[in-house]
């Protein structure tokens, strides 16, 4: 070590320059480090519950549920301002890219439809129409009362709060990026007459990110506190500045490595800078304390000048403290690297980068600081006198020495430690593991009050999902599976924590009741699979293809039950999971697989991982420290002595945790590693110095007194600095994570340093271990630096060509409207419905049309020939231009023809992405048309590009469109492409027509392939026509309701 120290001094300029360059480079990387929470790093990805959650998300998009509550200050939700606010927020959320559209639920969402019984069947209509001023409040209240799905979901039990359930897409750049766009939408509709509340786990985690950023303010305060403590300890400028320089450079290095490897800070490693600052400053204090001791001793020699004494003191202090610093620093680093045993990525990240920061501090202490110290002016005699003056820092170690060296007092010390240890072990029994994010905050914060308010009136702000998965398509349509789903829902709703459940069974029960004149006896599930399929088809005729995407997958192979919970408490949720699994095993057929997931399940996964990981962590840290200490001191007993204060500090932390009902969660789980990593230094410094003094010729008592007056005093400095640095986190009012860290680190430091100053030397005096009191050669400490290596569009635009139109836009659209109006037709068609994941449903039909005499109004017959469960289902539409259309349906499972209420041209055409209006055509006389341009199509055919807007508000409402843009061919007036815009002005869908053929005897044209794609949902419908025959005379039987069953 002496040769190493002289090498450092010979090349000090080079070392200083190289260190500053490295610091500058790493500083540029560290400057870009931000505090975010990457959701994927919070959960143990290999845990079954997390795997199930991720799989469920891939199917249904359900993971992060957020609730928005809108409550008027007076009255209930049934008033224009409330409903208008719900409508506008819902519309804006629906086009927000961070929202899972298929699961968006509110009074105004597209999928929220009331199922209403009619004389001949049922229909599905939006709960809230587009025109708030014309809302029938009595009808809305009745629709909500008739449809249990929406009670305690979109409206509170007392009718005073309207809720919007929003599920957010996962983002790696944190929850603020996920939630902030939602807040902006909500804030834009602020009103003094409304109270808006937000709830759910994403809201808590967003607030956690924001509170974690307080570290930017607390860190400078920590620097100030640690600096003042050093000034008090040394009473010199160098005593103030040098440890802080080391510590700050170590922080730059640690955060620089984070930035270089693209690792953001999160709620767990945001306090890493303070930790590195405190630990690095502590090691610097040990070295500086030894330097002052050696310098004062060397100044007594008449043959040395001040400069020579300074140089020699730098060398001797590094020789004396360097080895033990490497041992202690390596032990601390091992404590943090031990967090790699956790299955949670964010904890592993914390361990890695804190360990790197500690190693960086050691490297700086062994290179940069000696080089700088040798260039500085030697301390003045006054400065040395100040440092050697007896103060509180000297009296406390002296008192500890008296306690340890007196046999009677020593026995009392052992008894006191035994009693306190027993008390802490007893208190540890009260530790409760709970990872609920709401525990991170004080109960008096608005976020807690809002969450409690929403949980009181609605189903709950926490979501748990049950996924049912069969081995083949249509498993969910099986009556036995649906009844099991319904039973599990009823069982769940009997549990105190469950406020609401939803599934496809909820809606099918309502369909069955509505189909049977709302008789209570029919509030059950159908027991016929074909009838279930036909109910769903009937619903789709007035609903939309994606209405049930939140509850079933496309092929009805998988279903999801949503459970809204009123608590995020891990113990309650874990008990619920056990009960649900057991009940599901009893209820579902053997060929159906059940899995549970969602945000609530993920917290349970983190809890289980936390328990197993923390046990492994404590064992591994203890083993690593024991092995290092035993090897360095060449004594098994040395390893046990070093572990003693660490064990006491860990027991003290968990004892206080149990005593004051503080939950054990991820932030608190890190504290034991921190306590072990930091606290091991004190015992190692004490033992090393004690052995040094004994080998220098002092007797046991004298060696203890000297050790505690030197290394003990320095350890007291270090513990005070660490406690002071972390103590500033107590200023983070309202954020329990910082308060817990502050309290527990202070407790750990006090217990560790007190045990090191008393129990460690006491044990040494009682057992007289050979590694201290016999001459031995210690193993040379090895310093290993961990190196981590991680590997880490063009927009195109086209300008339309302009051409002069020979016809007016009105004439072009009229020709296009009439070009496919054949007198009659017969055809076979294949409907292929494709969802956003590429899954398909195929339906085959036979159909007939005929124009009504003397008009352009059509009669349209469609009969399904496949698949088997809807085979024979037939519909008849009689179009009336001046009044409502008529529609009938035949359901084979009931063997009845039912008349449906007047067809709405905006409704889905037999469950496809085409509306009835798209199929029969939008009458150009009701629209205003403007020629946008002329373009050349891909086949070099010229086309008019015409924009059409509704001629009246009624036309807009009836069609559901605010605008259409048609690409109409010049030669035959077929619209080969149409873009439809919804009432909010957003692009809704595109329709492409191809494979054009001339049909009939009057020069008409018919696309044999039509593709409609909903750009908002990703759903697509392909209609392929075969055997199309026109103007051949079609029998009247197709167009009579009584003939639909033939």
Name which of 388, 386, 372, 366 is nearest 317 in CA terms.
Answer: 366
Is residue 351's pLDDT more than 70? yes
pLDDT at residue 387, as a whole number: 60
Side-by-side strand order, sheet with 194-199: 162-168, 64-72, 194-199
Last residue of one domain, picked from the residues 745, 773, 801:
773
pLDDT-derived band of residue 376, with 50, 70 and 90 as boundaries?
confident
Encoded tokens for 280: 């690095």
Q: State mean pLDDT over 858-870.
A: 92
Q: Which helix (H) or strand (E) holds 124?
A: strand 122-126
Task: Let me know if residue 992 belongs to a domain.
Answer: yes
> Within this chain, do residues 864 and 999 fall inside the same structural domain, yes or no?
yes
Is residue 784's pLDDT more than 50? no
- Taking the CA atoms of 996, 998, 1003 and 1007 in sequence, report the sign of the dihedral they define: negative
pLDDT digits (tens, 9 = 90+) for 277-288: 777 777 777 788
Residues in the chain: 1046
For the ranges 209-218, 324-333, 416-425, 475-484, which has the lowest average pLDDT? 324-333
Supply the DSSP string of 256-297, one letter for each residue: HHHHHTT--B-TTTTTHHHHHHHHHHHHHHHHHHHHHHHHHH
For residues 906 and 917, the answer to whether their CB atoms sit within 8 Å is yes
> Within this chain, do residues 749 and 846 fall inside the same structural domain, yes or no?
no
User: Position of tokens 């509110």?
Assistant: 106
Is residue 985's pLDDT more than 80? yes
* Domain harbouring 727, CATH code: 1.20.1640.10
For residues 290 and 710, the answer to whether their CB atoms sit within 8 Å is yes
Is residue 698's pLDDT more than 80? yes
For the ranges 153-167, 766-780, 970-984, which has the lowest average pLDDT? 766-780
For residue 358, give its domain range: 2-37+213-429+604-773
Q: 579 versus 60: which is more confidently predicted?
A: 579
Distance of alpha carbon 223 from the chain centroid: 33
The span from the CA of 544 to the CA of 914, in Å, is 10
> Within this chain, do residues 755 and 849 fall inside the same structural domain, yes or no?
no
The span from the CA of 516 to the CA of 886, in Å, is 21
Q: How far is CA 1030 from CA 633, 876, 1002, in A?
A: 100, 19, 10
For residues 436 and 442, the answer to whether their CB atoms sit within 8 Å is no
pLDDT at residue 786, as a whole number: 31
> Within this chain, do residues 850 and 725 fall inside the same structural domain, yes or no?
no
pLDDT at residue 141, as a whole number: 94
The span from the CA of 996 to the CA of 1007, in Å, is 4
Encoded tokens for 550: 């939140």
Cis peptide bond N-terminal to 867, omega within 30: yes
The span from the CA of 312 to the CA of 293, in Å, is 12
Name which of 468, 463, 436 is nearest 581 in CA terms.
Answer: 468
Is residue 863's pLDDT more than 80? yes
pLDDT digits (tens, 9 = 90+) for 276-315: 877 777 777 778 878 888 888 888 888 888 888 888 988 9
Task: Let me know if residue 445 belongs to a domain.
Answer: no
Name which of 505, 506, 501, 507 is nearest 540 in CA terms.
Answer: 507
pLDDT-derived band of residue 794, with 50, 70 and 90 as boundaries?
very low
For the ranges 194-208, 303-317, 478-492, which has the lowest average pLDDT? 303-317
Last residue of one domain, picked from the residues 747, 773, 799:
773
The span from the CA of 622 to the CA of 644, in Å, is 10
For the ranges 242-251, 323-332, 356-365, which has the lowest average pLDDT? 323-332
Name which of 244, 811, 198 is nearest 454 in CA terms.
Answer: 198
pLDDT at residue 268, as a whole number: 64
For residues 311 and 393, the answer to whether their CB atoms sit within 8 Å is no
> Within this chain, do residues 846 and 977 fall inside the same structural domain, yes or no?
yes
The span from the CA of 741 to the CA of 747, in Å, is 10
Enumerate residues 6+ apart whose C-beta is below 8 A from 359.
329, 333, 785, 786
For residues 63 and 598, the answer to whether their CB atoms sit within 8 Å is yes
pLDDT digits (tens, 9 = 90+) for 891-919: 898 888 877 765 567 888 888 999 888 88
- What 3-state DSSP class applies to 879? coil
For residues 249 and 359, the answer to whether their CB atoms sit within 8 Å is no
Q: 1036 versus 802: which is more confidently predicted?
A: 1036
Name which of 373, 383, 369, 381 is nearest 306 in CA terms.
Answer: 381
What distance, in Å, lies between the first and last C-alpha atoms of the chain?
A: 101
pLDDT-derived band of residue 488, with 50, 70 and 90 as boundaries?
very high
Q: Is 391 left (phi over 0), alpha (psi -120 to 50) or beta?
A: beta
Q: State mean pLDDT over 138-162.
A: 95
Which range has the top average pLDDT, 346-350, 521-525, 911-915?
A: 521-525
* Domain harbouring 851, CATH code: 2.50.20.10
The span from the CA of 964 to the CA of 888, in Å, is 29
The span from the CA of 627 to the CA of 618, in Å, is 14
- What 3-state DSSP class applies to 597? strand
The span from the CA of 485 to the CA of 467, in Å, is 10
Q: State mean pLDDT over 402-407.
A: 92
> Within this chain, do residues 755 and 814 fall inside the same structural domain, yes or no?
no
Task: Let me know if residue 261 belongs to a domain.
Answer: yes
pLDDT at residue 209, as a whole number: 84
Number of H helices, E strands in the chain: 32, 22
> Within this chain, do residues 246 and 381 fall inside the same structural domain, yes or no?
yes
> Within this chain, do residues 768 and 813 fall inside the same structural domain, yes or no?
no
- pTM (predicted TM-score): 0.75
pLDDT at residue 37, as a whole number: 67
pLDDT-derived band of residue 151, with 50, 70 and 90 as boundaries?
very high
> Within this chain, do residues 915 and 767 fall inside the same structural domain, yes or no?
no
Which range has the top average pLDDT, 55-69, 92-106, 241-255, 1019-1033?
A: 1019-1033
pLDDT-derived band of residue 60, with 50, 70 and 90 as boundaries?
confident
Q: What is the mean pLDDT of the chain?
A: 86
Q: State mean pLDDT over 79-86.
A: 96
Task: Let me know if residue 415 belongs to a domain.
Answer: yes
Helix intervals (H) in 338-367: 345-366
Task: Let me know if residue 704 belongs to a domain.
Answer: yes
pLDDT at residue 374, as a whole number: 87
* Residue 325 burial class via C-beta count within 10 angstroms: exposed 0-12, middle 13-18, buried 19 and up: buried
pLDDT-derived band of residue 787, with 50, 70 and 90 as boundaries?
very low
pLDDT at residue 612, as a whole number: 64
Q: 512 versus 383: which is more confidently predicted?
A: 512
Enumerate residues 6+ apart whose C-beta is below 8 A from 184.
none
> Within this chain, do residues 418 and 291 fall inside the same structural domain, yes or no?
yes
User: Position of tokens 């330097």?
Assistant: 291
pLDDT digits (tens, 9 = 90+) for 945-967: 999 999 998 898 888 899 999 99
pLDDT at residue 696, as a whole number: 87
- Axis crossing angle, helix 599-633 with helix 666-695, rounded to the nearest 10: 10
> How many domains does the chain fold into?
2
Encoded tokens for 683: 């015992």
> Within this chain, do residues 822 and 910 fall inside the same structural domain, yes or no?
yes
The span from the CA of 228 to the CA of 635, in Å, is 39
Task: Let me know if residue 56 belongs to a domain.
Answer: no
Task: Let me know if residue 381 belongs to a domain.
Answer: yes
pLDDT at residue 881, as a whole number: 73
pLDDT at residue 257, as a whole number: 86
Angle at 96 between CA 95 and CA 97, to 5 degrees: 110
For the ranges 243-252, 458-467, 1005-1014, which has the lowest average pLDDT? 243-252
Task: Let me know if residue 539 belongs to a domain.
Answer: no
> Within this chain, do residues 827 and 706 fall inside the same structural domain, yes or no?
no
pLDDT at residue 287, as a whole number: 82
């Amino acid at each position: 070590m002496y040769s190493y120290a002289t090498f450092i001094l010979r090349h000090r300029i080079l070392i200083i320059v190289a260190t500053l360059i490295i610091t500058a480079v790493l500083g540029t990387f560290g400057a870009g480090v931000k505090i975010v929470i990457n959701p994927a790093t919070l959960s143990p990805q290999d845990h079954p519950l997390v795997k199930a959650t991720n799989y469920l998300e891939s199917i249904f998009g359900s993971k992060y549920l957020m609730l928005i509550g809108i409550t008027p200050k007076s009255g209930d939700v049934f008033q224009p301002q409330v409903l208008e606010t719900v409508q506008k927020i819902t519309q804006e959320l629906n086009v927000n890219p961070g929202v899972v559209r298929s699961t968006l639920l509110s009074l105004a969402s597209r999928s929220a439809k009331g199922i209403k019984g009619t004389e001949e069947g049922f229909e599905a209509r939006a709960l809230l129409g587009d025109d708030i001023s014309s809302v029938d409040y009595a009808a809305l209240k009745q629709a909500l009362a008739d449809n249990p799905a929406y009670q305690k979901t979109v409206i509170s039990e007392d009718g005073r709060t309207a809720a919007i359930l929003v599920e957010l897409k996962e983002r790696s750049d944190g929850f603020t990026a996920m939630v902030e766009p939602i807040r902006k939408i909500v804030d834009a509709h602020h009103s003094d007459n409304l109270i808006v509340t937000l709830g759910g786990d994403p809201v808590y985690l967003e607030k956690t990110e924001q509170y974690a950023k307080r570290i930017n303010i607390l860190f400078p305060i920590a620097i100030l506190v640690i600096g003042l403590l050093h000034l008090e300890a040394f009473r010199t400028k160098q005593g103030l500045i040098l440890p802080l320089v080391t510590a700050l450079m170590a922080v730059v290095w640690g955060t620089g490595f984070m930035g270089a490897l693209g690792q953001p800070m999160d709620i767990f490693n945001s306090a890493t800078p303070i930790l590195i600052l405190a630990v690095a400053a502590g090691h610097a204090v040990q070295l500086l304390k030894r330097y002052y001791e050696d310098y004062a001793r060397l100044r007594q020699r008449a043959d040395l000048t001040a400069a020579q004494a300074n140089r020699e003191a730098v060398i001797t202090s590094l020789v004396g403290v360097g080895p033990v610093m490497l041992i202690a620093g390596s032990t601390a680093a091992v404590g943090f690297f031990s967090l790699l045993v956790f299955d949670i990525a964010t904890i592993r990240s914390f361990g890695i980068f804190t360990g790197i920061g500690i190693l960086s501090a050691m490297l700086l202490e062994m290179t940069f600081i000696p080089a700088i110290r040798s260039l500085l002016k030697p301390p003045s005699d006054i400065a040395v006198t100040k440092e050697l003056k007896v103060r509180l820092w000297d009296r406390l170690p002296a008192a500890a020495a008296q306690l340890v060296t007196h046999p009677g007092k020593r026995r009392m010390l052992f008894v006191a430690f035994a009693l306190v240890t027993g008390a802490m072990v007893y208190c540890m029994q009260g530790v409760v593991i709970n990872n609920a994010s709401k525990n991170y905050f004080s109960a008096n914060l608005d976020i807690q009050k809002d969450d409690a308010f929403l949980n009181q009136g609605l189903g709950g702000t926490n979501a748990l999902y049950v996924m049912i998965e069969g081995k083949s398509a249509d498993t969910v349509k099986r009556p036995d599976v649906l009844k099991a789903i319904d039973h599990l829902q009823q069982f769940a709703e009997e549990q105190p924590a469950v406020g609401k459940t939803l599934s496809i069974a909820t809606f099918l029960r309502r369909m069955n009741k509505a189909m049977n004149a709302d008789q209570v006896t029919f509030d059950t599930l159908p027991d016929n699979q074909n009838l279930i399929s036909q109910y769903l088809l009937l619903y789709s005729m007035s609903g939309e293809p994606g209405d049930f995407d939140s509850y079933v997958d496309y092929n009805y192979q998988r279903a999801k039950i949503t459970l809204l919970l009123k608590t995020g408490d891990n113990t309650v949720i874990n008990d619920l999971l056990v009960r649900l699994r057991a009940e599901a095993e009893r209820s579902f057929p053997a060929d159906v697989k059940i899995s549970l997931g969602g945000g609530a399940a993920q917290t349970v996964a983190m809890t289980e991982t936390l328990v197993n990981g923390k046990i492994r962590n404590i064992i591994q840290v203890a083993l690593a420290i024991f092995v290092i200490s035993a090897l360095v001191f060449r004594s098994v007993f040395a390893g046990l002595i070093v572990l003693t204060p660490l064990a006491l500090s860990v027991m003290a932390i968990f004892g206080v945790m149990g005593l004051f009902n503080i939950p054990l969660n991820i932030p608190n789980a890190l504290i034991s590693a921190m306590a072990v990593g930091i606290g091991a230094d004190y015992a190692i410094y004490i033992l090393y110095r004690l052995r040094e003094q004994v080998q220098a010729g002092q007797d046991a008592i004298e060696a203890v007194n000297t050790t505690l007056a030197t290394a003990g005093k320095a350890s007291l400095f270090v513990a005070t600095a660490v406690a002071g640095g972390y103590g500033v986190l107590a200023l983070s009012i309202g954020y329990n994570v910082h308060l817990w860290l502050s309290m527990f680190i202070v407790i750990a430091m006090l217990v560790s340093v007190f045990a090191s100053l008393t129990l460690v030397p006491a044990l040494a005096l009682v057992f007289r271990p050979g590694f201290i009191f016999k001459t031995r050669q210690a193993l040379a400490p090895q310093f290993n630096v961990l190196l981590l290596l991680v590997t880490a569009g063009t927009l195109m635009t086209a300008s339309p060509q302009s051409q002069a139109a020979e016809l007016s836009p009105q004439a072009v659209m009229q020709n296009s409207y009439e070009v496919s109006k054949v007198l009659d037709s017969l055809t076979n068609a294949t409907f292929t419905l494709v969802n956003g994941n590429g899954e398909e449903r195929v339906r085959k039909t036979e159909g007939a049309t005929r124009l009504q005499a003397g008009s352009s109004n059509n009669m349209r017959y469609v009969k399904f020939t496949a698949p088997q469960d809807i085979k024979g289902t037939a519909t008849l539409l009689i179009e009336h231009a001046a009044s409502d259309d008529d529609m009938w349906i035949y359901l084979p499972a009931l063997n009845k023809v039912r008349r449906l209420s007047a067809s709405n041209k905006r409704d889905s055409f037999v469950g496809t992405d085409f509306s009835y209006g798209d199929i029969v055509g939008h009458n150009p006389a009701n629209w205003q048309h403007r020629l946008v341009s002329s373009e050349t199509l891909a086949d070099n055919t010229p086309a008019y590009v015409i924009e059409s807007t509704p001629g009246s508000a009624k036309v807009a409402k009836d069609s559901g469109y605010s605008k259409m843009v048609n690409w109409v061919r010049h030669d035959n007036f077929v619209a080969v492409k149409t873009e439809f815009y919804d009432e909010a002005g957003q692009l809704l869908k595109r329709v492409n027509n191809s494979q054009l053929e001339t049909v009939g005897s009057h020069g008409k044209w018919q696309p044999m392939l039509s593709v409609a794609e909903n750009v908002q949902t990703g759903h697509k419908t392909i209609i392929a026509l075969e055997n199309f025959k026109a103007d051949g005379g079609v029998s009247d039987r197709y167009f009579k309701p009584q003939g639909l069953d033939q």
